[in-house]
Amino acid sequence: MVGAGHSGLAVSRVLSEQSIEHVVLERGEVANTWKTERWDSLRLLTPNWLTRLPGLAYDGEDPDGFMAVSELVEFLERYAGHVDAPVRTGTTVTRIFSDDDDYRVETDAGTWAASAVVLASGAFNRPHVPAVAESLPAQLDQVTPLDYKRPEQLRDGRVLVVGASATGLQLADELLRSGREVTVAVGEHVRMPRTYRGRDIMHWLDQIGRLDERYDEVDDLIRARHVPSPQLVGTPDRADLDLNALTDRGAALVGRLGAVNDGKAAFAGSLGNVCNLADLKLKRLLKTIDQWGGFDEGERPEPTRVDATPRVLIDLVAEGYDTVLWATGFRADYSWLDLDVLDRKGEIRHDGGVVRNAPGLYRVGLNFLRRRKSSFIHGAEDDARELVDHLLATSLSSASAA
């Protein structure tokens, strides 16, 4: 097993239940990514009552609250001890390759031979920064969510936040509250209210079965796996965080960043259409909830407010921008994987976590791995159990054939 985050620990627990000998290799400490690569104010998007892994669930006094990063780290450390996970911390995997019928896992602390390997190394190892970044003026600082910790680390000038999913909106909101002037470049996004009919939106997604929708039940799996994360934030007051909330605090909205020439950033003119589409999908979701519950139509959020003619050109330096913050998604890092299992975009080829053309190799922790909830903490258990079942069935079949 490579990685001791929540997905790796969940698989470890299920392997132990089946008395399968294994080791979990972790380059840092348990929950290393959460400890070292997240901004200070981050909280989970999911309420505490959804924070559960095989054999342990949230048992605190605030089930409707949202864990801060430090609280989640404590939960995962407690979980690792609770399930007695065989974690080897401070062990960096440098290469995985095949050797006859086994895999060889090379690390800075020795080499392991294994008939099966589970990759639980996370889906957010590398920020995805588009090629247009190379055209930005040298005077501008470029920051990714892996670099960003708090507003004070940025210069005082204006900030262009590129991306309007959960990360982009949360960081834009924090920067606005710190007194910064912020412009948000908005592309495709998923708008959701924090609460609906007095309950958290995750309650409704769970009840209507949306989170349990399987990878083999959707028409366009590739698109489903690349849907942006919803515009949500976990706060004590369960506040909505959408583009209207940002403009109420003074943010300016522009369309998707397309090009930069001579310091002038060009933005798509389709901001209104993009926001209208997100609003339409939001209405469809709420209508689905109403129909599921047999309710009369509930209150609908105000449509996204955008200028009739949003700006399509900004001279970044002349207008006082100091920083561009790239909230444009992440990619997994497979630089140490010496196997022919990646597609032309560098993504691993798999069917629900079973890596193609690589018997005994599995992947966990990806968006919509086997279900829509796969990327959430509580989604790890079902994925882990099904993949371990597959591993066992494959091992038994191989043993019978031998």
197-220 pLDDT, tens digit each:
999 999 999 999 999 999 999 999
Quote the pLDDT of residue 83: 94
Residues 289 and 336 in one domain: no
If asked whether residues 120 and 133 sit together in one domain, one would say no
* Same domain for 362 and 337: yes
Q: Are 88 and 26 in contact (CB under 8 A)?
A: yes
Q: For residue range 123-141, what is the model confidence (pLDDT) as tens digits?
A: 878 899 999 999 999 999 9
Same-domain status, 227 and 158? yes
What's residue 399's pLDDT? 32
Residues 6+ apart with CB under 8 A from 192: 201, 230, 231, 232, 282, 285
**19 plus 51 within the same structural domain:** yes
pLDDT score of 169 more than 60: yes
Residues 236, 256, single domain; the answer is: yes
What is the pLDDT confidence band of residue 400, given thresholds at 50, 70 and 90?
very low
- Total domain count for the chain? 2
Which of 275, 254, 273, 274 has its CA nearest to residue 265?
A: 254
- Look at residue 142 in the predicted model and tell me its pLDDT: 98
Q: What percent of the chain has pLDDT over 90?
A: 93
Q: Give the structural domain span for 29.
A: 6-125+332-401
DSSP letter at 149 equals: -
Domain presence at residue 1: no
- What pLDDT is attached to residue 49? 97
Q: What is the pLDDT of residue 269?
A: 95
pLDDT at 124: 79
Q: Is 343 helix (H, G, I), strand (E, B) or coil?
A: coil
According to the model, what pLDDT value does residue 173 have?
98
Are 140 and 106 contained in the same domain?
Answer: no
Query: Given this model, what pLDDT does residue 125 score?
Result: 80
Q: Is the pLDDT of residue 165 over 90?
A: yes
Q: What pLDDT score does 100 carry?
A: 81
pTM of the model: 0.94
Nearest to 326 by CA among 161, 212, 188: 161
Mean pLDDT over 338-358 rounds to: 96
